[in-house]
Every structure is written in C-alpha cells, then in structure tokens.
C-alpha cells in the first residue's frame, strides 16, 4: 500500500490541534497527578490520558491498520507500515504548573523514518509542521535556519530527565558546557526546544534520555529547517543523546559532548 506523507501530515496536524484544544479547554480546576512513572516527579495527569485517548481514537478511526506508540502507554503494532508516535502533553510538569510551555506532539513514521510531524503549543497557538524532504513550517511559514553563531555565542537549549542519577550526570555535563556558550535555556518540553531551534529562538539543543515521542515530530521539524539532529560518534539521535544545531555549530557541540562522554548511560 502506498502512503502519502501529506495525508499523514494533515491528519497529524488536525488531531494535534484537537488534542491541544482539549487539554486547554477541559483542564479541571483541581488538576492533580493521576499516576507516576519512572520516578515520583515523572507525572501523568488525567489530561495526558484523555489527550492520548483522543489521539488513539482519531488514528484508529482514520487509519485502522496503522501502529501506535504513545507516551502514556498506547502501543499497537500495525500492518500498514505506518506507526504514529505521539506525546499527548510534552512538558507535563509545565502543564501542571500552568507554565505556558507544553505541546502536543504527533509524528508518523514509515519503517524507521519519521516522514511527517506536527507540534502544537495550544497556549501560544503556534503550530509547527514538517514533511521529510519537503521542509518545515511555523503556522505555514517556511523555516530555514541561517548561519549559526560560534559556540561561545550560541544560546543552547537542554533538558533533564526524571531519574536522579540521570540528572546528576546531566548536571556534570552542564557544568562544563555552560561556561563555553552564550547561555543555556531549560524550557521544559523537548519538542518545543527542537521547534525553537528550527525557528531560530535558540541556536542549539542537546539532551540525554529522550524517548521516541519526545523526539519524533520536533526532530523532523529541526532537521527540515536545516539542523543536523544526531548522536555522538556518528550514531543517530536517540535516547543516549540528541544533539541538534545547524553546521558548523553542531560539530562544535558534538566535540564538547564527546569529550564529556555525554552519551554514557548513568542508569546502567
Ligand atoms: C519531558 C520534557 C522535558 C524533557 C524530558 C521529557 P514529558 O517530557 O520533554 O523537557 O527534559 O526529558 O521527558 O514527560 O513532559 O512528556
């Protein structure tokens, strides 16, 4: 069966917008933590669960043969070759605290390749989209990264995982990175960090411990805007490490992070 990535993108955008409206409009006044995952700070709210259910329902109705991989446990092996990788609320801690930096992230993967992605910030109303090989857009405006600054003038976004051992390792890396760059930002939603990079709001990004749903849509947006999204030593970006920036800055960031063995697994 042939797959039209444009159709996948249209569906991704439509359901990410819808889930974004849900989490804003139907947020209960007394929103609490429904459950926790890898640590006491790795929270799930009822709205994460409701938004993921909405995404699963839309996918199942529109494309019943597709697979699904969702942050809150949605897991279905499909038969069409398409897998949806969804994060119903990326930046759940921001959402809990009503900090306006959270997103719905929806990507469609064909085999191992993310071919379409949409990231919706329902508070700002901004919608980033990307199609593999075609480009990335913010609210329909094509994103093309300009020349990056050198490392010492680069504004670099990063994030931290939930496991205290991972955080300790990330803090040790940050201690060496921070004096070498203009400054660091920790906004609290990986998909938005990658979209910020694509939009020129930061110059680079790195983080260890991202799951596929944190990376899929935002990674495509950043790559299609002209960033290199990679791991260390030529490995692909993934849970061990994601480094993203436009060359040549990405090479400088990779060199610093390789020197720090920033992709070593602190949980091993
Ligand atoms: C988290 C956010 C955060 C990043 C963490 C992610 P969640 O996702 O993207 O910025 O630093 O690594 O786990 O839990 O809010 O969906």
265 falls within a domain? no
**What number does the ligand 1 atom closest to the CA of 209 have?**
12
User: Do 9 and 138 belong to one domain?
Assistant: yes
Of 124, 142, 160, which residue sits at a domain end?
142
Confidence label for 1 from pLDDT (cuts 50, 70 and 90):
low
Q: How many angstroms separate the CA atoms of 106 and 68, rounded?
A: 11
| 68 and 164 both lie in a single domain | no
Measure the CA–CA gap between 203 and 216, rounded to whole angstroms: 19
- What is the pTM for the complete model shown? 0.97
Residue 74 confidence class, pLDDT cut points 50, 70, 90: confident
Question: Between 101 and 72, whose confidence is greater?
Answer: 101
DSSP-assigned letter for residue 177: H
Domain limits at 175? 151-259
Ligand 1 atom closest to the CA of 193, numbered from 1: 10
**Mean pLDDT, to the nearest integer, of 154-175?**
97
* Inter-residue contact 173 to 199 (CB < 8 Å): no
Q: Is the domain of 167 the same as that of 131?
A: no
- How much distance in Å is there from the Cα of 188 to the middle of ligand 1? 6
* Residue finishing a domain among 116, 142, 168: 142
Domain presence at residue 27? yes
Residue 37 has pLDDT above 90, yes or no: no
Instruction: Report pLDDT for 33.
Output: 85
Q: Report pLDDT digits (tens) over 211-241.
A: 999 999 999 999 999 999 999 999 999 999 9
Tell how far the Cα of 91 is from the centroid of ligand 1, in angstroms.
5
Q: Going by CA atoms, what residue is nearest to atom 15 of ligand 1?
A: 91
Nearest CA to ligand 1 atom 13: 161
Q: Are 10 and 137 within one domain?
A: yes
Please state the atom number of ligand 1 nearest to the C-alpha of residue 90: 16
Domain boundary among 142, 169, 188: 142
d(CA 59, CA 86): 11
Mean pLDDT for the chain overall: 96
Whether 241 maps to a domain, the answer reads: yes
Domain count, the chain: 2
Q: pLDDT band for 244, please (50, 70, 90 cuts).
A: very high
- pLDDT tens per residue, range 191-210: 999 999 999 999 999 999 99
């Amino acid at each position: 069966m042939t797959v039209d990535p444009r159709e996948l993108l249209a569906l991704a955008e439509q359901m990410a917008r819808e889930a974004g409206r849900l989490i804003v409009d139907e947020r209960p006044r007394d929103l609490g933590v429904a459950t926790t995952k890898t640590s006491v700070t790795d929270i799930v709210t009822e709205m994460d669960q409701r938004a993921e259910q909405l995404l699963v329902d839309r996918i199942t109705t529109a494309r019943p043969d597709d697979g699904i991989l969702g942050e809150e446990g949605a897991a279905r092996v499909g038969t069409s070759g398409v897998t949806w990788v969804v994060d119903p609320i990326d930046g759940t801690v921001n959402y809990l605290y009503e900090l306006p930096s959270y997103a719905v992230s929806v990507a469609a993967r064909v085999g191992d390749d993310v071919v379409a992605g949409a990231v919706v910030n329902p508070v700002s109303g901004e919608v980033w989209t990307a199609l593999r090989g075609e480009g990335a857009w913010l609210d329909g405006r094509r994103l093309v990264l300009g020349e990056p600054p050198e490392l010492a003038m680069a504004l670099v976004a990063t994030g931290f995982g939930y496991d205290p051992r991972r955080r300790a390792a990330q803090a040790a890396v940050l201690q060496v990175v921070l004096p070498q760059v203009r400054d660091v930002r920790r906004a609290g939603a990986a998909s938005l960090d990658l979209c910020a990079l694509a939009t020129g709001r930061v110059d680079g990004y790195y983080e260890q411990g991202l799951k596929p749903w944190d990376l899929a849509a935002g990674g495509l947006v950043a790559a299609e805007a002209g960033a290199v999204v990679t791991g260390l030593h030529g490995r692909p970006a993934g849970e061990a490490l994601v480094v993203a920036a436009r060359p040549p800055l990405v090479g400088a960031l990779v060199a610093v992070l390789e020197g720090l063995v920033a992709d070593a697994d602190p949980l091993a």
